[in-house]
Amino acid sequence: MRKLPAKLASQLYGAAELIAERGLDGTKIEDIAEATGIPKATIYYHLDGKNAVLEFLLGDLLDMIAGAVGVAVASEENARTRLEAAVQAQLGVMLEHPSLCRALVGDLGRATRLPELAAALRTAFYEPIEQLLAEGVSDGSLRQVADPGAVALSVFGAITVAGLSAAVEGPSADPSADAARFSSAVSELVLDGLATPGSRDQRRGEPL
Amino acid sequence: MRKLPAKLASQLYGAAELIAERGLDGTKIEDIAEATGIPKATIYYHLDGKNAVLEFLLGDLLDMIAGAVGVAVASEENARTRLEAAVQAQLGVMLEHPSLCRALVGDLGRATRLPELAAALRTAFYEPIEQLLAEGVSDGSLRQVADPGAVALSVFGAITVAGLSAAVEGPSADPSADAARFSSAVSELVLDGLATPGSRDQRRGEPL
DNA sequence: TCGTATGTTGTACTCACGGTACAAACCAAG
DNA sequence: CTTGGTTTGTACCGTGAGTACAACATACGA
């Protein structure tokens, strides 16, 4: 099943839009066959079924994200700057592939139930952030927070939901402009927060 | 179909865990019948099908969230304080109903494809935040940002993903303690950001 | 006490779709 | 030509959602 020929792989992308639109359940194998031009029998020859189609498509997306973010994170800058770069990289890839992103949101449940994908999700999205936050504390460019795990999760959420929503809003005319817009908004939030200097001094105590 | 008897409604919750675990697709109507004690024929008498089961369960969750957040937002405090309260409220409800949350993530695609739920999602999660951000600028307790829409989206993502992840980590012994922990982490991020004072002066220019 | 309306449930059915089986054709490479 | 992988059409099977329907329960007003 692994290693399906390049030609088929590229044809398979023709199914992304379909799956994004109707969800995997709403999409019949026959539909996929028609949309991609690959006959059903051939699909089953290479792939283990519907899920494998999704797995292939999303696996690719996740690899692209992990790759781009990996590059962004590997520079010599301080963690704060690299965090900005990572945000930009992740949003850039996401906005370049809106239908894959829509497929991802739409079938998130299935995706997380596919073990290989679940792992890829983690390494593509969450781990780089977590790492960066820790490094930022070491190099002094990011603040020490009380609960690094929870904060990393939130940062991850801020970035990802922004990208996902952007993808869901139908593809834009200029994805890279959008990516820039969104990533500066996200960075602004994540780095500087929303409190005004005036209200910032009131320390939060124990809520509840 | 609307207005199913209270007794059945409460029985239906018995299916939440099941759906959370296996996804709606992985759950047969027969399974739901068995888990809830409501026979299949009766389910179909009241509900329009599998989707309606999900719609009912998630609709309830969303109502609870919208309600709790609504209360939090309605106080006399400044927007910044109310934002903290809203975060706490949303996470509180989410952590109290982990299996509903898991069902929500798992079948997000389906949920957003059910028009009534899509609207409820918006009003429960996104709109209060958006509103609060605008009010914070007016009352001076929150900073004016370049792209309020995108920032609101990110804040929404930060809160929601934190809650969702917490819900996915299996139910905890003390949900309200967890809610407090997570909500203070999220508030810390959203209000104060992560940049250290030292690195904060380097303004971000045009990325890309 | 009946009659009618409304809910409850079991059983049996239909039908769409995912997946499989298989045989025929195709296409290298040796 | 032969051999071994690939490609594809076609026919088929099993599962599970949804439907039909009849029998039964329950309530309630006349």
- How much of chain B exceeds pLDDT 90, in percent? 89
Q: What is residue B197's predicted lDDT score, i.e. its pLDDT?
A: 86
Q: Provide the token pair at A170.
A: 């139908």
Q: What is the mean pLDDT of residues B135-155?
A: 96
Question: In angstroms, how far is C12 C1' from B50 CA?
Answer: 21
* Residue from the list A110, A141, A189 with its beta carbon closest to the beta carbon of B151: A189
Q: How many other C-beta atoms can be found within 10 angstroms of the C-beta atom of residue B128?
A: 24
Q: What is the mean pLDDT of residues A148-161?
A: 97
Q: How many CA atoms lie within 13 A of A185 on its CB side?
A: 26
- Check CB contact under 8 Å for A162 and B143: no
Q: How confident is the model at residue B198 (pLDDT cuts 50, 70, 90)?
A: confident
d(CA B140, CA A159): 26
Q: What is the mean pLDDT of residues B60-66?
A: 97
- Check CB contact under 8 Å for B193 and A191: yes
DSSP of B52-106? HHHHHHHHHHHHHHHHHHHHHHTSSS-HHHHHHHHHHHHHHHHHH-HHHHHHHHH
Q: How many other C-beta atoms can be found within 10 angstroms of the C-beta atom of residue A206?
A: 6
Interface of A with B in 126-185 (CB under 8 A): 133, 136, 140-143, 145-147, 150-151, 153-162, 164-165, 176, 179-185
Are B112 and A106 contacting, i.e. CB atoms less than 8 angstroms apart?
yes
Which nucleotide has the least CA–C1' distance to A30? C17
- How much of chain A exceeds pLDDT 90, in percent? 89
Which chain B residues are Cβ-neighbours of A159 within 8 angstroms? 154, 157
Are B25 and A51 contacting, i.e. CB atoms less than 8 angstroms apart?
no
Q: How confident is the model at residue B162 (pLDDT cuts 50, 70, 90)?
A: very high
Considering chain B, what is the average pLDDT of its residues?
93
Q: What is residue B2's predicted lDDT score, i.e. its pLDDT?
A: 52
Q: What is the mean pLDDT of residues B81-98?
A: 97
In chain C, which nucleotides are within 7 Å of a protein Cβ?
Answer: 7-11, 17-23
Question: In angstroms, how far is C3 C1' from B46 CA?
Answer: 25
- Tell me the per-residue pLDDT of A3-17, one tens digit each, with 9 for 90 and over: 788 999 999 999 999
List the domains of chain A with CATH numbers.
Answer: 50-194 (1.10.357.10)
Q: How confident is the model at residue B200 (pLDDT cuts 50, 70, 90)?
A: low
CB-defined contacts A:B, below 8 A: 230
Q: What is the mean pLDDT of residues A70-75?
A: 97
